[in-house]
Amino acid sequence: MGIATSLKTEKIWMDNQMVRWEEATVHVLTHSLHYGTGYFEGIRCYAMEDGRSAVFRLGEHLRRFFDSGRILGFPLPYTLEQMEQAVLEVIRANGLKECYIRPLAFLGLGEMGLYAPENPVHVIIAAWPWGAYLGEEGIRNGIRAKISSYTRHHVNVMMTKSKITGNYVNSVLAKNEVKEAGYDEAIMLDTEGYVAEASGENIFIVRQGRVKTTPHTSILPGITRDSVLTIARDRGYPVVEECFTRDELYIADEVFFTGTAAEVTPVREVDNRKVGPGCPGPVTYDLQQAFFNITKGKDKSYPDWLTTL
């Protein structure tokens, strides 16, 4: 299979310059390619009802990008303002109304070996159109999830608050395992056996009208998770951040995932057991609609969440 057609655009921002898509390449001895020492973000830009476009929670995503660099110990060689402008430039340069934006920082060529503190930190920002991450059908009618046999990172093994590229090998193993077994997405348990998150999404359950998600222990503190928690509270749902077990998933009325790529995706089956009646429930549907009404500028109650182009 070749390059996904949507991935090919005109320009990529690379080390403070806009370069042609074909020129945004690296040397095979790039440090991060060998040791997973990069970090990244995933951001979405939405086409709004009024014809403009808006980036969703750009400030929060960029803060987490800087935090990832701090945690890894290779900070970004730019300011937050520079990164913000660069993101907007990439969207404009590619003429995109709606897209997924991928900032990535990585250690370049210099020393080989694990200790390479002097290697340059390179930064790229790419953007491309990316539809429903778990499929159009999935976002509408729900997806089939399975608990992976791979455990989520322990907090002393990987820095889970950071989107370090190397962390994602764990996610890729889990995702491949369940996809090859015929499921859509992997749910991972933490080292204690509690539900942690999915391979690239946070997880929520609903039971008797109460909305529950896992606390900030071993998970990535998702920005969509935070948005949905805020929306749910504002809409009057009782909300808790609390550890829960695998069997609580089996008896939940509703289960859904949140993520920048996945947005709000209902889960209709876990480990071959139907969730509720096996279709998206009313709370999931309400929160999903509320989320899209905000990102598309129909609901103007959260103006700080949108950076218009």
CB 201 to ligand PPE: min, Å: 5
CB 136 to ligand PPE: min, Å: 17
Is 276 a binding residue for ligand PPE by CB under 6 A? The answer is no
Q: Which of 165, 218, 258, 295 binds ligand PPE (CB under 6 A)?
A: 258
Listed in order, strand segments (DSSP E) in the chain are 11-14, 17-20, 39-40, 43-47, 53-56, 99-107, 121-128, 143-147, 185-189, 195-198, 202-207, 210-213, 239-241, 254-259, 263-270, 273-274, 306-308
Binding mask 7-36 for ligand PPE (x = CB under 6 A): ------------------------------
Cβ neighbours of residue 28 under 8 Å, at least 6 residues apart?
A: none
Is 153 a binding residue for ligand PPE by CB under 6 A? The answer is no
Q: Which is nearer to ligand PPE, 98 or 279 (CB)?
A: 98
Burial (CB < 10 A; 0-12, 13-18, 19+), residue 280, is buried
The residue at minimum Cβ distance from ligand PPE is 42
Are 257 and 198 in contact by the 8 Å Cβ rule? The answer is yes
Is 159 a binding residue for ligand PPE by CB under 6 A? The answer is no
Phi, psi for 145 (deg, rounded to 5): -115, 155
Question: Hunting for tokens 């935090």 — which residue is that?
Answer: 67
Is 265 a binding residue for ligand PPE by CB under 6 A? The answer is no
CB 111 to ligand PPE: min, Å: 29
Q: Exactly one of 163, 175, 212, 296 is catalytic; name it.
A: 163
Question: Hunting for tokens 């951001």 — which residue is that?
Answer: 43
Residue 296 annotated in active site: no
Is 264 a binding residue for ligand PPE by CB under 6 A? The answer is no
Burial 30-44, CB ≥16 within 10 A → b, else e: bbbbeebbbbbbbbb
Q: Which of 185, 190, 201, 254 binds ligand PPE (CB under 6 A)?
A: 201
Segment near ligand PPE (CB under 6 A), from 78-86, 134-142, 193-201, 272-280? Answer: 193-201
Which tokens is 80 given? 């937050």
Segment near ligand PPE (CB under 6 A), from 111-119, 196-204, 207-215, 231-239? Answer: 196-204
Is 197 a binding residue for ligand PPE by CB under 6 A? The answer is yes
Q: Where does the chain have alpha helices with state H?
A: 31-35, 58-72, 80-93, 136-141, 168-180, 223-234, 246-250, 282-295
Q: Write out the binding residues for ligand PPE, residues 223-242 only, by CB under 6 A.
A: 223-225
Interface with ligand PPE (CB under 6 A), residue total 16
CB 114 to ligand PPE: min, Å: 24
Amino acid at 108: G
Measured CA distances, 229 to 18, 67, 211, 226 (Å)? 37, 22, 9, 5
Is 68 a binding residue for ligand PPE by CB under 6 A? The answer is no
Segment near ligand PPE (CB under 6 A), from 83-91, 179-187, 217-225, 241-249? Answer: 217-225
Residues marked active site are found at: 163
Q: Which residues bind ligand PPE (CB under 6 A)?
A: 42, 171, 197, 200-202, 220, 222-225, 258-262
